[in-house]
Chains A and B, each alone.
Chain A
Amino acid sequence: MKNWFPSKNKWRELLCTGLIALLLVAASCTSTTTTTTSSAAITTTTAPVTTATNKSINVFAGSASQPPLLDAAQIFEQKNNIKVNFTFGGSGTVLSQMLLAKSGDLYIPGSPDYLIKAQAQGVVAANDNGTLLAYLVPAILVQKGNPKNIQSLSDLLRPDVTVGIANPASVCVGLYAIEILDKNGLLDKLEQAGTVKTYATSCENTATLIALKSVDAVIGWSVFASWNPDTTDVVYLKGSEIPRLAYIPAAISTFAQDKVSAQKFIDFLASKDGQAIFSKYGYQVSESEAKKFAPASTVGGVYNLPTGFTTLVK
């Protein structure tokens, strides 16, 4: 290899090289802004804005509430001049993103289970139980017209049926699916039947499995049918089969920079106008509405995956 330092002053030139390298590194370090938000975002959507704003809030939400939140943000931005940036994904996934990036103003998971996890991790204050936005009813979702004639949980064991479930470790509805199967004594049977083909990575993903006809049935929230009415039908479970109903809580995170604006958005979502948006998308906005599907169920609380539970997918 040719000696690229032909002169005797090689030490001086080595020093020059080192100095220039250090300068380049220092220059690149100081020029980067220190916003570390959502560099690993799975979906980041910004509701379109027509007015110039200088206030903004970052909302990390489970995709269980994506359609109404996007609509609500548009109206909120026009009224209040506050830009709303969303990061959607599995409730557990976006929680991890908030934790690692140490940023985010609002956390809106798809179930109170994840709010409790957020409190345990210090992302939400321990005494803040969030504001209830809407209720969620677990149900079986099938392709439009229900071609495989799936009428109940036990139909999911049939060998001619393919099933999809959300990942119970990172998605709100996945945990509820496992709980329902567990409490109805079907968990082991379903694993042996081998009909569960995949774990979806978020609520949106779970709904898309049906919309794209990738599987015959998923266990999800009943509102999935309102998201994709042309491709999805809902098969309601018996009230006795549902141990717990879920709800969508919204809480200000401990990393929030603009708590006032964040609270304004929560207030808007809980107001009459905000609740009307949730109703429009088929969500149950009052406990009595939700309890119609499962009168004996409880709301909230915790369910832990059974010890030794690994996977349902063969």
Chain B
Amino acid sequence: MSKKSGLRTWLTSDRAFNVALVSFLLVFVIIIIFLLASMATFTNWATFWSNVVSRETLFAIRLSVITASIATILGMVIAVPVAYAISQFKFPGKDVVDSLLDLPIILSPVAVGTALLIFFSTPVGGFINNNILRFTFSVPGIVTAQVAVVTALAIRLLKSTFDSIDPRYEQVARTLGCTKSRAFYKISLPLARNGLMAAAILTWARAVGEFGAAVMLAGATPMKTETLPIAIYLAMSTANVGQAIAIIFILIIIALLALFLMRKLTHRGYPL
């Protein structure tokens, strides 16, 4: 066996394939670690800690958590029936509607936020804004922007959840006398529990990170509409790199907590 064909055999072998795969995984992990380490070189522990506990940062954390939670509840309330409907019903043009529902996910959040801001400048929107509830440059505006962006994501996640439930369970329930709504509440929703929780947590994480739509509709006003991503933006616009880094690390911790929670709550039977 010549050396050349031996090398060729090894290159196409299973082990070589594994080696290549793991190398790519290693590179990706190394890049992430490098990014984190490079941020650490821009600050020291004292500045970092004082930025984390500063009044502005604590305000941003509180605002982000509250607005994201409200946005997630509203988003899920809208997404569950819409996703169920799209999953259940067959109608002409279903593909078109399906694609339309995906549109807000693909559309840049800045576009969504700008569209909302323009809406509230029209006569109808202006009336709502001035007389019912103020949406522009306010906290309800942040929630609105977040809902607009995350609902489409929630619909997409929940549709695959509902698609994965065998319709026969519901059909059997109907033959045993359940109405359609009773079958939904007693059979489909409990079966979709894991998917619902995963969708809720991912939606919440996405809402926390929302920037483009929020900054368009609610503005970047310190100590008023300052969510965590907007706080990073404000810090960088005054060259306060230490503050920006502190907030980035807080966001990383929140993201890790969300992912950890998702794994813990859905490990029973939901492959992730």
Contact = CB atoms under 8 A, between A and B. Distances in A.
A188 B23 CA distance: 61
9 contacts: A4-B22, A5-B15, A6-B15, A92-B239, A93-B238, A169-B237, A198-B221, A214-B136, A310-B222
Contacts of A314: 224
Nearest to B225: A198
B116 to A, nearest CB: 12
Contacts of B126: 213
Contacts of B24: 24
Contacts of B136: 197-198, 214
B251 to A, nearest CB: 17
B142 to A, nearest CB: 12
Contacts of B20: 20
Interface of A: 4-7, 13, 16-18, 20-21, 24-25, 40, 89-90, 92-93, 95-96, 99-100, 167, 169-170, 197-201, 212-215, 310-311, 313-314
A197 B137 contact: yes
B252 interface: no
Nearest to A171: B237
Given A5-B15, A13-B15, A201-B220, A100 B23 contact: no
A208 B120 CA distance: 14
Contacts of A13: 15, 19
Given A95-B239, A96-B237, A201-B220, A24 B27 contact: yes
B237 A214 contact: no
Contact of A214 (B22, B31, B121, B239): B121
Contact of A4 (B18, B26, B221): B18
A199 B221 contact: yes
A21 B26 contact: yes
Interface string B117-159: 1101100001000000000111000000000000000000000
B267 to A, nearest CB: 15
Given A21-B30, A100-B241, A313 B224 contact: yes
A288 to B, nearest CB: 35
Tell me the dominant secondary structure on chain B's binding face: helix
B237 A92 contact: yes
Contacts of A170: 237-238
Interface in B222-238: 222-225, 234, 236-238
Contact of B118 (A100, A167, A199, A212): A212
B219 interface: yes
Interface residues of B, number: 32
A311 B117 contact: no
A42 to B, nearest CB: 8
A21 B26 CA distance: 6
Contacts of B27: 21, 24-25
Nearest to B137: A198
A214 to B, nearest CB: 6
A73 to B, nearest CB: 24
Given A6-B15, A7-B15, A21-B26, A96 B220 contact: no
Contacts of B121: 212-214
B237 A90 contact: yes
A25 B26 CA distance: 10
Contacts of B221: 198-199, 311, 313
A21 B33 CA distance: 14
Contacts of A199: 219-222
Contacts of A215: 137
A13 B13 CA distance: 13
B239 A212 contact: no
Contact of B26 (A17, A99, A197, A313): A17
Contacts of A197: 136-138
A300 B18 CA distance: 67
A7 B18 CA distance: 12
Nearest to A7: B15
Given A199-B220, A212-B118, A311-B222, A20 B19 contact: yes
A169 B220 CA distance: 12
Contacts of A4: 18, 22
Interface string B56-90: 00000000000000000000000000000000000
B223 A310 contact: yes
A200 B118 CA distance: 16
A169 B239 contact: no
B31 to A, nearest CB: 8
Contacts of A200: 219
Contacts of B220: 167, 199, 201
A161 to B, nearest CB: 12
Contacts of B19: 13, 16-17, 20
A17 B23 contact: yes
B224 A5 contact: no
Given A93-B237, A100-B241, 14 more contacts: A7-B15, A20-B23, A25-B30, A99-B239, A167-B220, A167-B234, A167-B237, A198-B219, A199-B219, A200-B219, A201-B237, A213-B121, A310-B223, A313-B222
A252 to B, nearest CB: 20
A239 to B, nearest CB: 31
B46 to A, nearest CB: 21
A310 B121 CA distance: 29
A141 to B, nearest CB: 16
B36 to A, nearest CB: 16
Given A199-B219, A200-B219, A314-B224, A17 B22 contact: yes
